[in-house]
Amino acid sequence: MTNTDILKRARDTELALEPARLIGVAGPIASRPVAAPRTAAQVRVVDPEQFDEIAARFADVNQEQTACYVRARWGAHRLETVTIERNGTTIAAAAIILIRLPMIERGVAVVKWGPLWRKAGAPADVGVLDASLAALTHEYVERRGFYLTVMPHADPGWSEPTACALETLGYEAGGSLTSPARYLVNMALEPEDLRKSLGQKWRYNLKKAEKNDFDIEVVDPADGYGRFMALYDQMLDRKRFKDTSSVHTLPDLMAAGEAAFRPMIVMVRHDGRDTAGAVIDTSGERAVYLYGATDDRALPLKAGYVLHWWIAERLCADPSVLWYDLGGADADHGLHQFKKGFVGKDGVIETTPPIYHRCGSTMSCLIGKAVYGLRGLKAAAGNLVYLVAKR
């Protein structure tokens, strides 16, 4: 079906029907406009470089809500950066991915792990969250006719209020991440208390690993990138798994204009050779384990234990960091056990909320369905090519 056919079908359907909802590949979507709370907040488009300066002031900033990352990952033509303002003051910000259909100014707008609304050093005000989501809904759904997708973060204490705010605004939950659990290590603890919190087996393996002669350091980006990628490529060749990560964005992130968004690279050496490495986002109150790499010696040496423990001790010394986010487990039982043991008694395994969708008309719902449907077909085709190539 062509874009013209989609639009014609949408117009014909709107004239003939007034359905309460459409069921598409992205889950049940509200198609009838729902009255949103009135708010004085307004959306303002800002320059990406200016946006990153603003985003750095928020405690809940994360890689997915930075212009430098989204631009490198999805392309500058798909990036729109906005602030949400009230009475002349910036109260929130969002980096938005826009997927437009050719020849029309409609499509899908995606806010992943945003908006940013909790300013660093200030008490959180849930009213700011409500006003920000209402303003984004008004701008992208009601005024510009986009199919708006919001992907809330797995955020201890704030996941549920975010979901409630979205549902109040007429959003409906669609699908969830394949592996929705996020493993968060508590960085508010002193290192000795964190060690006590570790799972018994994790603590045992850490003790064994610490007997090996490792050299661990934060490396200079100019040298560290090459060292990490050499190890990463070795790992890909050894494990032969499909790499769907965005590791290719690292050069852009390391050159980010905002220093806080340049990731930290940690390397572990044994017998003079790199055996493990990690790339960490330390931009906000949640430090995030972005990428890891190992050689074939790392597992018997238990290098992963000393690597993550060394990083955790360093993060514990930074009062602005509350959590060390290990990411998900991708249905890997061994990875789940490793991360669960590191989270220990005082950490949190937080479930990522479902993905929420909102559209203001049948036409925008059909457009959203078409875009997500095409992306699903592309992903399926990519998986098939990978399986054939692996044989």
pLDDT digits (tens, 9 = 90+) for 301-353: 999 999 999 999 999 999 999 999 999 988 788 999 999 999 999 999 999 99
| Cα–Cα distance, 15 to 129 (Å, whole number) | 36
Would you state the CATH architecture of domain 3-177+353-390?
A: 3-Layer(aba) Sandwich (3.40)
Q: How confident is the model at residue 379 (pLDDT cuts 50, 70, 90)?
A: low
What is the homologous superfamily of the domain 181-351 according to CATH? Gcn5-related N-acetyltransferase (GNAT) (3.40.630.30)
Which range has the top average pLDDT, 23-32, 96-105, 227-236? 227-236
Of residues 170 and 223, more confidently modeled: 170
Three-state SS for the chain is CCHHHHHHHHHHHHHHCCCCEEEECCEEEECCCCCCCCCCCEEEECCHHHHHHHHCCECCCCHHHCHHHHHHHHCHHHEEEEEEEECCEEEEEEEEEEEECCCCCCEEEEEECCCECCECCCCCCHHHHHHHHHHHHHHHHHHCCCEEEEECCCCCCCHHHHHHHHHHCCCEECCCCCCCEEEEEECCCCHHHHHHHCCHHHHHHHHHHCCCCEEEEECCHHHHHHHHHHHHHHHHHHHCCCCCCCHHHHHHHHCCCCHHHCCEEEEEEECCEEEEEEEEECCCCEEEEEEEEECCCHHHHCHHHHHHHHHHHHHHCCCCCCEEECCCCCCCHHHHHHHHHHHCCCCEEEECCCCEEECCCHHHHHHHHHHHHHHHHHHHHHHHHHHHHHC
- Examine domains 3-177+353-390 and 181-351 and report if their fold is the same: yes
Q: What is the pTM of this model?
A: 0.85
**pLDDT value for 178:** 85
Of residues 391 and 23, more confidently modeled: 391
**Of the candidate ranges 37-41, 94-98, 274-278, 368-372, the one whose mean pLDDT is the lowest:** 37-41
**pLDDT value for 27:** 38
| Cα–Cα distance, 279 to 187 (Å, whole number) | 18
**pLDDT value for 100:** 87
pLDDT in tens, 143-160: 999 999 999 999 999 999
Contact at 8 Å (CB) between 255 and 246? no
| Res. 137: pLDDT tops 70 | yes
| Cα–Cα distance, 234 to 236 (Å, whole number) | 5
| Res. 17: pLDDT tops 60 | no
**Of the candidate ranges 29-38, 52-61, 129-138, 176-185, the one whose mean pLDDT is the lowest:** 29-38
**pLDDT value for 381:** 40
Domain positions in the chain: 3-177+353-390, 181-351
**pLDDT value for 332:** 84
Averaged pLDDT score across all residues of the chain:
86
Q: What percentage of the chain has pLDDT greater than the value 90? A: 74
| Res. 291: pLDDT tops 90 | yes
**pLDDT value for 242:** 77
Q: How confident is the model at residue 173 (pLDDT cuts 50, 70, 90)?
A: very high
| Res. 252: pLDDT tops 60 | yes
